[in-house]
Amino acid sequence: MQGRLNGRVALVTGGAGGLGQAYSVRLAADGAKVVVADLAPADETVAMIEQAGGEALSVSCDVSSGEQVSAMVEAGIARFGAIDILVHNAGVYPFHAFLEMTFEDWRRVMSTNLDSAFHLCQGVLPGMTQRGWGRIICVATSAFYSGAPRLSHYVASKGGIIGFVRSLATDVGVDGITVNAVAPGLVRTPGTAAGGQEEMGLFEMAPQMQAIKRVEVPADMVGTVSFLASDEAEFMTGQTLVVDGGMVRS
């Protein structure tokens, strides 16, 4: 595999399918070796990468667990020698009307979507700091800017990601590490197609509010992530790039 990420190692969470699979395959096509982390088996993603001539490792991990994240990072380093790029994509988005939401519902979303960023960055930053190079890319949502029905816990967790990215970038820029976020809109994946989005008619509604009048798909996101992972983005940090077809125009 030849590309702008030759010699780099990427860790992608939630990489078994959907957006995470698309990110993993693209970073591998760019030349990176990829650690694919997910609760679900990521054999399909690994096979796609290997069939194209790349290298990948599947690791089972609950990103809300600091112990499991530490073990996953260690496994990736043992296999490939380092973790240079983190794409924190894993997350959950259950639909709950706020007054029907329990605190346990709230905490599950926060621990999976936001606490996980703490665990993951604590795991990868020592090595990045030692080498003087690193790319951290967290996946937020354009719904942070507009709100979304029945997703107050999800939107709050992604708002936390945006704030975390801004602050962490300030801490680690001196070490040659950039920290950014990407904010997709409503992306059609097997997960979202089977979820409440379809039932609520959101795939029909969203394009009507976008400048680009079609449903977003994973291929629309991978170029932005590839750019942020590369040397070309070395002077961009603390930013959130909205990639949602122009639904949010900031």
pLDDT of residue 204: 85
Which segment of 8-17, 34-43, 151-160, 194-203 scores lowest on mean pLDDT? Answer: 194-203
**Catalytic residue flag (residue 23):** no
pLDDT surpasses 60 at 28: yes
Cβ-based burial of 150 (10 A; exposed 0-12, middle 13-18, buried ≥19): middle
pLDDT of residue 104: 97
pLDDT surpasses 90 at 2: no
* Pair 138, 91: CB distance under 8 Å: no
Task: Calculate mean pLDDT across residues 188-209.
Answer: 79
Residue 189 DSSP one-character state: -
Residue 64 within a domain? yes
- Percentage of the chain modeled with pLDDT above 70: 97
Indicate the Cα dihedral angle 116, 38, 200, 110, nearest 10°. Answer: -10
pLDDT in tens, 60-95: 999 999 999 999 999 999 999 999 999 999 999 898
pLDDT surpasses 80 at 195: no
Residue 163 within a domain? yes
Model confidence at 1, pLDDT cuts 50, 70, 90, reads: low
pLDDT of residue 202: 75
Domain that holds residue 174: 9-185+217-242
Give the CATH number of the domain where residue 31 resides: 3.40.50.720
Task: Calculate mean pLDDT across residues 119-133.
Answer: 98
- Percentage of the chain modeled with pLDDT above 90: 86
Return the bridge partners of 68, or none: none
Residue 204 within a domain? no
Residue 113 within a domain? yes
Distance separating alpha carbons of residues 189 and 225, to the nearest angstrom:
17
pLDDT of residue 154: 96
Residue 15 within a domain? yes
pLDDT surpasses 90 at 201: no
Number of domains in the chain: 1
pLDDT of residue 165: 98
Residue 73 within a domain? yes
